[in-house]
Amino acid sequence: MLSQRCYDLGTARSVIRELFEHGKLRAAEVGADNVFDFSIGNPSVPPPPAVEETLERLLATVDPLTLHGYTSAQGDFAVREQLAASLSRRFGHRYDASQLYLTVGAAAALCCVFHALTLPGDEYILFAPYFPEYKVFLEGAGAKVNILPPKYPDFQIDLAALDAALTPHTKGVLINSPNNPSGAVYTADTLAALGQLLARRSQEYGHPIYLISDEPYREIVFGGVSSPWAPDFYPDTIVCYSYSKSLSLPGERIGYVLVGRSVADGERVYAAVAGAGRTLGYVNAPSLFQRVAAECDGLCADTSVYAQNRELLTAELGKLGYDTSHPPQGTFYYFLPTLESDDVAFCEKAKALDLLLVPGSGFGAAGYARLSFCVPTERILRAIPVFAALSKQYGR
Ligand code: PLP
């Protein structure tokens, strides 16, 4: 006998992975240039030059036994000090090493937090559309998940729905801004109202409701939008961050959990996060990239190609009858209303044209398709006639 849950997770691919694999097979059959794969969110721009420079310097100057050795489970102390100083400078708080826990990307950060906080019967609220792995991570930690419907068309938070959904069993609320897949960035007003509501309910229930802020796309924003710092609006905020997208380092697996001083029972929460890391067998985050992250925190890859792709899609798809009235404010995903209400049928029609889009229902938002535009611009240019052929099927 083995774990049915793990078996099922290990044998069923996510819709995104399924499409991505399909794209590779089709590329072998019809040629890569004839497949328009917008399925996966793998950054398409190189890391900023500072990453390579830092790597070269570290390799040349740091004793290899140190550089490639185990670090403290929480992350190397000097790395955490340097990172805390950087975050303090950037966000105007006083963070220190004892509040930072380095992780194997945002995925591990989230898993450690969920395992650290969750008791049997605890529930977490998340907002559709959402990153589908959240459910896997939360259920893996034994939590119940309550997914609230999307707030169309701006994908901010429906506070009335949240108010109605909170219960004394709510352990946490999970937010992701800039959002995968909607591209929405929560405004300061949204976060302020959210903070007030959670503070009121925490007081009413006599225990904190933690706000877990998953922010791997923090720096990838467009058109002068900026992403407010969630802890400014609610003291019991735990930040989960990743350098996968900002520094284009998804394969290096580096990120952190930040449990600031203002978090209720913060020192114990931090210790439990470290304990969760132990339980899950992470040992420590990759040693070399801990150092790179600390040196390069706050930098971002040159995302001008993402901005250019976003503009191009907005202009060209708009001309073809697609609704581009809500372009993404951040991330590298376009969340496009589909031309029929059945988003799965729409994406199947697209797939028949070798145009690979992910149905919104996989993210809890039917009637939309996600298009990852972290691709070379020329792929978008070549795909425009295919989008035209698709919209023609709908009489546009
Ligand atoms: N959270 C969101 C919203 C994501 O989109 C992703 C990856 O795409 C992750 C977390 C996981 O990121 P990481 O590569 O840092 O584990």
Tell me how far apart the alpha carbons of residues 142 and 304 are, in angstroms, rounded to a whole number: 41
How far apart are alpha carbons 179 and 97 in whole angstroms?
Answer: 28
Ligand 1 atom closest to residue 255's alpha carbon, by position in its atom list: 15
Nearest to 230 by CA among 157, 163, 160: 157
**Ligand 1: which of 102, 113, 131 to mutate, most ligand atoms within 8 Å of CB?**
131
Please report, in tens digits, the pLDDT of each residue of the chain (396 residues total): 999 999 999 998 888 888 999 999 999 999 999 999 999 999 999 999 999 999 999 999 999 999 999 999 999 999 999 999 999 999 999 999 999 999 999 999 999 999 999 999 999 999 999 999 999 999 999 999 999 999 999 999 999 999 999 999 999 999 999 999 999 999 999 999 999 999 999 999 999 999 999 999 999 999 999 999 999 999 999 999 999 999 999 999 999 999 999 999 999 999 999 999 999 999 999 999 999 999 999 999 999 999 999 999 999 999 999 999 999 999 999 999 999 999 999 999 999 999 999 999 999 999 999 999 999 999 999 999 999 999 999 998
Ligand 1 proximal residues by C-beta, below 6 Å: 41, 105-107, 131, 176, 180, 214, 216, 242, 244, 250, 255
Identify the CA nearest to 202 among candidates 135, 120, 262.
262
Nearest CA to ligand 1 atom 8: 41
Confidence (pLDDT) at 236:
98
Determine the Cα–Cα distance for residues 372 and 392; give it in Å rounded to an integer.
22
Please tell me the distance between residue 81's alpha carbon and the centre of ligand 1 in angstroms: 24
Which atom belonging to ligand 1 lies closest to the Cα atom of 106? 15
**How far does residue 130's CA lie from ligand 1's centre (Å)?**
11
Per-residue CA distances from 162 to 151, 158, 179 (Å): 11, 6, 18
SS3 content of the chain, % helix, strand, coil (to 5): 45, 15, 40
Q: How far is the CA of 110 from the centre of ligand 1 (A)?
A: 9
CB distance 124 to 144 below 8 Å: yes
CA 157, CA 155: separation in Å to the nearest integer? 6
SS3 of 108-143: the string is HHHHHHHHHHCCCCCEEEEECCCCCHHHHHHHHCCC
Structure tokens at 244: 């996968």
CA of 197 to the centre of ligand 1 (A): 27
pLDDT at position 143 is 98
218 alpha carbon – ligand 1 mean position (Å):
12
Joined tokens for residue 208: 């904190």
pTM here is 0.96
How far apart are the CA of 107 and the centre of ligand 1, in A?
Answer: 6
pLDDT for the residue numbered 90: 97
Q: Whose CA is nearest to atom 12 of ligand 1?
A: 106
Pocket test for ligand 1, best of 177, 180, 254 (most atoms within 8 A of CB): 180
Tell how far the Cα of 396 is from the centroid of ligand 1, in angstroms. 35
Q: What is the pLDDT of residue 17?
A: 86
